[in-house]
Structure 1
Amino acid sequence: MADKLRVGIVGAGGIAQGAHIPNYKKCGERVEIVAVADVAVDRAEACAKAHDIPHFFGSVDEMLSSAELDAVSICTPNKFHSVSTLAALKAGCHVLCEKPPAMTVAEAEEMAATAKAAGKYLTYGFHYRHSQEVETLKRFIRDGELGDIYAATAIALRRRGIPGWGVFTNKELQGGGPLIDIGVHMLDTALYLMGYPEPETVFGATYQKLGTREGVGMMGSWDWKNFSVEDMARGMIRFKNGASLVLESAFAANIGKSDEMQVKLMGDIGGAEVFPLEVYQEKHETLINATPAYMPQRNSYEVEVARFVDACLGGPAPISTPEQGVMLQRIINGLYDSAESGAPVKL
C-alpha cells in the first residue's frame, strides 16, 4: 500500500480552489498536489502559484503525459467531465469527479465501464452524503427506525440565487440549470438514504420565467441576456419497488426563504427531515419528534476528500459508485426529456 498520493487537479476554478485543493492539503504528508491543468493556462499558472503547486498545464492530456499522478480531481464545467475522467482513468489514475457525473447517460456509462476496466476508483462529488446529518440518519435507517421508505421529497430552492460567476447559466457547457447543479445534490442524498432504488418512470417540468430578465441577484449579477438554462425544474420519480420521490429545484423562485436544501423521507415506521435532522415516529401511543441534543459538525467537503484519499491508499472504497452515477444520470436526463416532450419517460 502506497503511503503518499500524487494528485492532479483538472480545472482551476472556484470548486477546485475552494474545496478540493484546501482539503487535499489538510491530508498532510499523505498527499502531494503535483499539478493543475486548465484550458486557460494563465488561470492554471495563477492557481499553481497561489497554492504552491509545482506544475501547471494548459490541458489534461499534457498534465497526464508529463506528471506522475495516482489520482485526479475533475473540477471542470459539466461538458468536460466525461472526457477528462476518461483520460485520467486510461492514464491509470483514480478519479474524484465533481457532480453531476456527465452530460448524457452514454457518457456516464462509458465512464463507469472505463473505471471497471482500468481497475480504478471513480467517485463523484456528492459531498452532502458525508455530512453528519446524512450519516446519522443512514444509521437510523439501517437499524430499521424508518421501516420501508416509500415516499421522499428533495428540495433545492433559491429565491434569487442565480450564480453571477462561472458558466452555470450556459446550457451548452452545463447541460441545464438548477436541476443538474443543485437539485442533483438533494436528489442524490435522497436516493442514497433510500438505498438507491431503481427508477421506473419520471415526469418533469422546467421553467424559464425569471432568469431571462434583469433583476435582483443574491449571488451577484448574472448575464440575463444569455441565460440559456431553466430557472426552475420540478419532477416526480416512481421506482420499481413502488416508492416515489418529488423533486423541486430552482435558481430563482418567488418563495419566502432565501434558500432551502432539504430531503424529507416517509417510511411505514418513521419519517425524517435531514437538514436539520429530525425523526418522526409513533411510540407508546404517542407521536414523537426526535431531534439530536448534540451532533458533531464537520466540513463535508473535507470528509469527502479525506475518504477519497483513504480509498486510493488502500482504505475502504468510496461510498459514491459509478453505477449510482449512471442511474442518477438516467433520472436527470429523463426529467429533462420529459419536460421537453410534456409526457412521462419510462427509464
Structure 2
Amino acid sequence: MMKKKVAIIGGGQIAENVHVAHYKTRDELEIVAVCGVNEESVKSFAERNGIPNYYTDAAEMYSIEKPDIVSVCTPNLFHFENVMQALENDCDVFCEKPPAIKADDARVMYETAIAKGKVLAYDFHHRFADDVTILKEKVDEGMLGDIYFVKVKALRRNGIPGWGSFTNKEIQGGGPLIDLGIHMLDAALYILGYPNIKKVTAKMFQKIGNKKSEGSFGKWDPTKFGVEDSLFSHIELENGSLLQLETSFALNIKEKSEMNVEFCGDQAGAIMFPAEIYTDEKGELVSLLKRETADSDRHSKSMSAFVNRCLGKNVMLADGKQGYAIQQLVEAIYQSAEKGESVTL
C-alpha cells in the first residue's frame, strides 16, 4: 500500500510532541514536509524530527509535495486560512482547537470539507479518554436518567501561559474560554449528544493577569495582557437542561488546577475524571461505577481516530459540524460577557 503523505503547518510544541510524534508511529504515513513562517525555526524543526523538507511558503509546499494529510498547528488567528488552503488542495485536515476565532469561519470550513469530501477534525482530545467513552455509554443507556444540570470546570489558580501568544486577544481570540473551557465544553456536549443551545449568559474578568507577571507556566508582561483571566457562564439547552461553566487562567482557588465535568441526573450523578457514577439511597452514597485513575492517553487516541478515518475506517471524530457548533457557543459566550446581557442562539 502506498503511504499517505503528511505535511505539518506550524512548528510549535504541540506539532512536535503530539502530531509528529503520532504520525511517526503509523506505518501507513510518511511525513514529507513542515511549513512555518520563520525559516530558521522551521529548518530546525525539520532537522530535529527527521522531516526531509521545510518551507516558509505554503503554496510552494502544496505545489511540490502534494500531501494527502495536513496538520494545522498554528495560533488560532491563522486556523481558518490554513485549514481552507489545505482543503482547497484536496487534503484531509486535522486542526488544533479551537476551530477558528469566528463562528462563520468554522461554518465555511465545515461546508468546504463536506463539498470536497474531505475529513476535517479538531483535536478535542479529552473526549477520547476511556473515562469519557465509559460515561457516554452509560448515559446513552439511561443510567443517569434525565440529566438536567451539568457543571463544567476548566480552572487554573495561576497558570497563565508565559510562552506563545496566549495573552494576545487578536491572535488567540480570547483567554481561558477559548483555550481551556472549550475543551471541557466539548467533552460535556459530546456525552450529551451535542444538544441544541437556547441561551447563554456570561461574565468575564481581568483581575490578576494584568497585575501579576509570573505563575506556574512562566512569566508574561502584565501591560500586554489582553484576554480575560476568568469567565463564568450559564448555558441553557433547548431541552431545559442547564450547563454551568467556570474557566480561568488565574483565579484565587485552593486547587492548582481543576479540569472536570459533573453531571446530575434524576437517577444518578457522575463525574468525568476519573469516571465515576453514583446515586443516593436513603441518605447514603452508593457507587455504581468507579475508576481509580483517569486515562491520560488522550492525545494519541485523538490522533489515531483522525488517521483511521483518513484510512477509511468509520470512527468517532470531533468533526467539522461539531466544531462549528462549539465555535458558535464560544462566540455567544464572549458576546454575552462583552455586552452584559444574555445571547440567544
TM-score by length of 1: 0.95
| In structure 2, C-alpha distance between the alignment counterparts of 1:258 and 1:293, rounded to whole Å | 22
| In structure 1, C-alpha distance between the alignment counterparts of 2:58 and 2:282, rounded to whole Å | 60
Of 46, 70, 82 in structure 2, the residue corresponding to residue 48 of structure 1 is 46
Residue in 2 aligned with 1:335?
333
| In structure 1, C-alpha distance between the alignment counterparts of 2:294 and 2:156, rounded to whole Å | 27
| In structure 1, C-alpha distance between the alignment counterparts of 2:57 and 2:125, rounded to whole Å | 26
Structure 1 SS opposite 2:21: helix
Residue in 1 aligned with 2:253?
255
Residue in 2 aligned with 1:9?
8
Structure 1 SS opposite 2:137: helix
Q: CA deviation at 1:65?
A: 1.8
Identical residues among aligned pairs (%): 42
| In structure 2, C-alpha distance between the alignment counterparts of 1:201 and 1:3, rounded to whole Å | 49
Distance 1:227 1:295, change over 3 A: closer
| In structure 1, C-alpha distance between the alignment counterparts of 2:149 and 2:124, rounded to whole Å | 21
Question: 1:3 touches 1:313 (CA, 8 Å); kept in 2?
Answer: no
Question: 1:127 touches 1:301 (CA, 8 Å); kept in 2?
Answer: yes
Residue in 1 aligned with 2:97?
99
Structure 2 SS opposite 1:276: coil
| In structure 1, C-alpha distance between the alignment counterparts of 2:81 and 2:263, rounded to whole Å | 36
Q: CA deviation at 1:151?
A: 1.3
Letter in 2 for 1:240: E
Q: Which stretch shifts more, 145-154 or 127-136? A: 145-154
User: Which deviations, in whole Å up to 9, do the C-alpha atoms of 1:58-83 show, x marking residues without a partner?
Assistant: 13322222212111111000001111
Of 28, 31, 36 in structure 1, the residue corresponding to residue 29 of structure 2 is 31
Question: 1:123 touches 1:318 (CA, 8 Å); kept in 2?
Answer: no
Residue in 1 aligned with 2:75?
77
Q: Which stretch shifts more, 210-219 or 13-22? A: 210-219
Residue in 1 aligned with 2:321?
323
Letter in 1 for 2:239: N
Q: Which stretch shifts more, 282-291 or 261-270? A: 282-291
Q: CA deviation at 1:284?
A: 9.2
Cα RMSD (Å) of the superposition?
Answer: 1.7
| In structure 1, C-alpha distance between the alignment counterparts of 2:107 and 2:120, rounded to whole Å | 12
Q: CA deviation at 1:286?
A: 5.8
Q: Which stretch shifts more, 333-342 or 141-150? A: 141-150
Structure 2 SS opposite 1:328: helix
| In structure 2, C-alpha distance between the alignment counterparts of 1:219 and 1:53, rounded to whole Å | 29
Distance 1:298 1:254, change over 3 A: closer
Q: CA deviation at 1:306?
A: 1.2
Aligned residues: 345
User: Which deviations, in whole Å up to 9, do the C-alpha atoms of 1:190-233 show, x marking residues without a partner?
Assistant: 11111100111111111111111234411111122211111011
1:18 matched to 2:13? The reply is no
| In structure 2, C-alpha distance between the alignment counterparts of 1:205 and 1:267, rounded to whole Å | 26
Structure 2: stretches of 5+ with no match in the other structure: none
Question: 1:94 touches 1:312 (CA, 8 Å); kept in 2?
Answer: yes
Letter in 2 for 1:99: K
Letter in 1 for 2:321: E
| In structure 2, C-alpha distance between the alignment counterparts of 1:206 and 1:60, rounded to whole Å | 37
TM-score by length of 2: 0.96
Q: CA deviation at 1:296?
A: 8.5
Residue in 2 aligned with 1:116?
114
Residue in 2 aligned with 1:281?
279
Question: 2:76 touches 2:171 (CA, 8 Å); kept in 1?
Answer: yes
Distance 1:127 1:112, change over 3 A: same
Letter in 1 for 2:325: M
Letter in 2 for 1:22: A
Q: After superposition, where does 1:294-313 map in structure 2 within 5 Å?
A: 297=295, 299-313=297-311
Distance 1:147 1:172, change over 3 A: same
Residue in 1 aligned with 2:130?
132
Question: 2:214 touches 2:220 (CA, 8 Å); kept in 1?
Answer: no
1:225 matched to 2:236? The reply is no
| In structure 1, C-alpha distance between the alignment counterparts of 2:301 and 2:5, rounded to whole Å | 18
Letter in 2 for 1:153: K
Of 190, 197, 200 in structure 2, the residue corresponding to residue 199 of structure 1 is 197
Structure 1: stretches of 5+ with no match in the other structure: none
| In structure 2, C-alpha distance between the alignment counterparts of 1:223 and 1:290, rounded to whole Å | 48
Distance 1:208 1:222, change over 3 A: same
Question: 1:37 touches 1:56 (CA, 8 Å); kept in 2?
Answer: yes
Q: CA deviation at 1:18?
A: 1.5
Letter in 2 for 1:95: V
Distance 1:339 1:298, change over 3 A: closer
Distance 1:74 1:318, change over 3 A: farther
| In structure 1, C-alpha distance between the alignment counterparts of 2:294 and 2:273, rounded to whole Å | 14
